[in-house]
Amino acid sequence: MTKSEIDKNKIRRVYKDEVSGDFQDMLVVNSIVINFFWIHFVLELCYIGFKNNPMVIINIFSMLTYAVANYFVRKGNVLVAAWICLWEVYVHAVCATVFMGGECGFYQWLFGLFCAIFVPFVSPILQEKERRGSQIYAVLLVLTYIALVVLTWKDIFPKHFHPSEIAQRVIYCINSIIGFFSVMVYTRMYTSRVGRRNEALLKRAEYDQMTGFYNRQRTQRILENEIKAQAERKLPLSVAIMDVDFFKHVNDTYGHLAGDFVLKELSKILRPAIDQGMIVGRWGGEEFILINPEEYPYPSFCMSIGGICRSIEEHNFVFRGQTIPVTVSIGSASYAEGMSLERLLQEADRKLYKAKEGGRNRVVC
């Protein structure tokens, strides 16, 4: 095969970031589908009671529509199911306004639809096709609402199937409540989801995904704030840098998955220290940084990290049936008045190298 043929047949891998609105969340859409089905079941009984035959037939198709939407949800086509629900409510609101009368206020449902379509999809992270479709639908809702109100004023709709005037007033009040309630519920649901997303983004920005500890940037900010506070509080401030001995040898001998396993096991061993007030961060690679609890003077801190060193040595690191020998070297330093963060970390790092030069598996305070 010539070079030109290779270039002609070459397939490029193209990766796109996956972005979505709320309507691509399976739990949300499935909840909407189920709830709307039962709402229409109740409506069916009402239409039968009012002897409104057109709406009885239309509502049967509405319930079948939600059965179809449920099928798409189960198949994973969540966005298709969401659009089916949106169009069903739109069509049903228009038909109910025509056959039940504008005085019943079924066009109030369009309020809820507008909120549901406008809030999640008008987002800068979405693809242009999705955003354009939602915007066209939102404009259609507004125009339809205006048209239905105007036609109601002009008294154009046929009155053969309309309920009594009292019943229309009651239904209008119910539909108004449904419209505003749907706006309130969906807005609450959406803001709650945005809050959870922001919390997840914050956790990703400040926590190490492997160990669950603070990452280096977050730990450094903590130390900077602690040093600034020393002028007022005068509380003990000590740090220790912990390094896994021969970590490269672990990766080379047992594989990188074994290295990840060791880091996760270390996070479990260090967890009790966090429960006692110690701050632990992943400093980079196989290095961790430990910050003493406020009530620990330097000698107590040294005893605590000495205990951590022994616990790691005595821990049984077993990965896929193989026991991995793991020890750590730790160097610590205590803050002195006027000391900068860089100087404090340099002192801890100097003692860490001293621990390594002294044979590893030890603490130098």
List the catalytic residues.
286
**Residues contacting residue 362 through CB under 8 Å, at least 6 positions apart:** 309, 329, 330, 355
Residue matched to tokens 């509405």? 62
Question: If we measure between CA atoms, which residue out of 129, 110, 116 comes closest to residue 22?
Answer: 116
Tokens of residue 215, six digits: 């990452």
Contact 319, 305 (CB under 8 A): no
The partner residues of 319 in beta bridges, in order of sequence, read 322
Q: How far apart are the C-alpha atoms of 334 and 291, rounded to whole Å?
A: 10
Contact 118, 138 (CB under 8 A): yes
Q: Report phi then psi at 211, rounded to 5.
A: -105, -20
Per DSSP, the residues of 297-353 read -HHHHHHHHHHHHHHHHHS--EETTEE----EEEEEEE--TT--HHHHHHHHHHHHH
CA distance to 21, 30, 289, per residue, from 204 (Å)? 20, 28, 19
Q: How far apart are the C-alpha atoms of 365 and 355, rounded to whole Å?
A: 9
The partner residues of 331 in beta bridges, in order of sequence, read 241, 364
Are β-strands 322-323 and 318-319 bridged in parallel, bridged antiparallel, or unpaired?
antiparallel
**Residues contacting residue 308 through CB under 8 Å, at least 6 positions apart:** 242, 269, 270, 273, 290, 328, 330
